[in-house]
Amino acid sequence: MASTSALPQSGPVRLWDRLTIGQKRVVWAWIFLIIPIIFYAGIRFYPTFQAFWLSLTNWDLLRPAKFIGLANYQKMFADPTFWKVFNNTFLYLIIGTPISLVIAFLVAYYLDRVRFMHGFIRALYFLPFLTTAAAMGWVWRWFYQPVPIGVINSVLSVVGIPQQPFLRSMDQALISVLIPAIWAGLGFQVIIFMAGLRAIPSTFYEAARIDGLGEWAILRKITIPLLKPTTVFLVVFSSIGFLRIFDQVYNMTTNDPGGPLNSTKPLVLMIYQTAFSSYQMGYAAAQTVVLFTILLIVSLLQLYVLREKK
């Protein structure tokens, strides 16, 4: 207390010297955070609020945005295309998530015990995860062509199964687009499941064996319950992925994006077209708010499920 009185109070250097070590660290912390704070405020938070605001306007790039209340939402909820798209988006989620998780779990469960060529087989499953969806969409599109070009139909014709229209059919197109998405994400899920399986202490298994539990009982009573956090993470992660599907659909249906007759169109593609083909920015913003709400619900469900566990 007494010592400070003698110090001259001039210049930032002196000021800095007078700070305690703890205070200096606080200053350092804010120096480190200043650019990130500007970034998160300007590139994440402000645009989020702006998206909500734009959803209440009729902005179309040409004229200045005018507040029109909930008209965009009324228009959207009255639009049969929106409900078709909404339905498609949920089909991607409801079909894609369980199928990919079950396959990924089976692969991980058995691959975990395989020693012979383990790394090689793991690589086979993981490689598609590293591909570019925009490029692979075209490869799959080629697979789905009719004979003599398409690989799948050629195989079918050899086996004697009738030709399938795949991307040209309103019934098959959605699942045909979904398969490449499942294919590309599978490797990631296998790796995460395997990490989860390894995190289960081997003492649990030893104890179970001593108690005379069979494979199936061990799987049901130990593996699956202890794998719950991993499974919840993957359910949420892949659900969000399927809800946001775009690259595959866009590239596999370029001549009629989301077609035939909107049968493959997901919400993100509708947003893209509304915003960047028809330039109805306000209307598109309202659609992004819907997407945001759906994703928020999925994330909150995850928090709820995990909290219950603890």
Partner 1 sequence: MTATNASTELAANRRDIRPGRYIAWTLLFIGGLIMITPLLFMFSTSLKTSGQVYDLKLIPSAPTLDNYIKVLQDGRFVQWFLNSTFIAVVVTLSNVFFDSLVGYTLAKFEFRGRYFIFLAILSTLMIPTEMLVIPWYLMSSQLGWLNSYWGIMFPGLMTAFGTFLMKQFFEGVPNDFLEAARVDGLNEFTIWWKIAMPMVVPAISALAIFSFLGNWTAFFWPLIVTTSKELYTLPVGISSFSAESAIQWELIMTGAAIGTIPTLLVFLALQRHIVRGVMLAGLKG
Q: Site residues for partner 1, window 271-300 (CB under 8 A)?
A: 271-272, 275-276, 281, 284-285, 288-289, 291-292, 295-296, 299
Q: Which of 58, 60, 68, 128 binds partner 1 (CB under 8 A)?
A: 128
Q: How far apart are CA 259 and CA 265, in angstroms?
A: 7
- Determine how many CB atoms are found less than 10 A away from the CB of residue 113: 8
- Determine how many CB atoms are found less than 10 A away from the CB of residue 53: 14
Task: Candidates 94-102, 162-170, 178-186, 217-225: pick the segment binding partner 1 (CB under 8 A).
Answer: 178-186
In order, the DSSP letters of 126-149 are HGGGGS-HHHHHHHHHHHTSPTTT
Q: Which of 187, 231, 249, 265 binds partner 1 (CB under 8 A)?
A: 187
Indicate the residue among 209 and 228 with the shorter CB distance to partner 1.
Answer: 209
Q: Which of 85, 101, 227, 268 binds partner 1 (CB under 8 A)?
A: 268
Q: How far apart are CA 128 and CA 124, in angstroms?
A: 8
How many residues bind partner 1 (CB under 8 A)? The answer is: 92
- Determine how many CB atoms are found less than 10 A away from the CB of residue 190: 24
Q: How far is the CB of 189 from partner 1 (least distance, A)?
A: 9
Looking at this protein, which amino acid is placed at residue 12? P
Contacts of 217 (CB under 8 A, 6+ apart): 208
Assess contact for 102 and 142: CB atoms under 8 A: no
Alpha-carbon torsion (216, 220, 226, 228), positive or negative: positive
Q: Which of 51, 71, 91, 213 binds partner 1 (CB under 8 A)?
A: 51
Q: Does 186 bind partner 1 (CB under 8 A)?
A: yes
Q: Which of 15, 18, 19, 48 binds partner 1 (CB under 8 A)?
A: 48
Indicate the residue among 9 and 33 with the shorter CB distance to partner 1.
Answer: 33
Task: Candidates 67-75, 77-85, 159-167, 268-276: pick the segment binding partner 1 (CB under 8 A).
Answer: 268-276
Q: How far is the CB of 123 from partner 1 (least distance, A)?
A: 6
In order, the DSSP letters of 18-79 are HS-HHHHHHHHHHHHHHHHHHHIIIIIIHHHHHHHHHTTB---SSSPP-B-TTHHHHHHHT-
| Binding pattern for the stretch 137-176 against partner 1, x by CB under 8 A and - elsewhere | xxxx-xx----xx-x--x----------------------
Q: Does 305 bind partner 1 (CB under 8 A)?
A: no
Q: Does 131 bind partner 1 (CB under 8 A)?
A: yes
Q: How far is the CB of 2 from partner 1 (least distance, A)?
A: 26
Residue 9: which region, alpha, beta or left (left: phi > 0; alpha: psi -120 to 50)? beta
Q: Does 224 bind partner 1 (CB under 8 A)?
A: no
Q: Which of 135, 170, 224, 261 binds partner 1 (CB under 8 A)?
A: 135
Q: Which of 35, 62, 78, 159 binds partner 1 (CB under 8 A)?
A: 35
Indicate the residue among 77 and 138 with the shorter CB distance to partner 1.
Answer: 138
Residues numbered 67 to 106 that lie near partner 1 (CB under 8 A) are none
Q: How far apart are CA 265 and CA 245, in angstroms?
A: 9
Structure-token match 């045909």, residue found? 176
Q: How far apart are CA 23 and CA 26, in angstroms?
A: 5
Q: Does 301 bind partner 1 (CB under 8 A)?
A: no
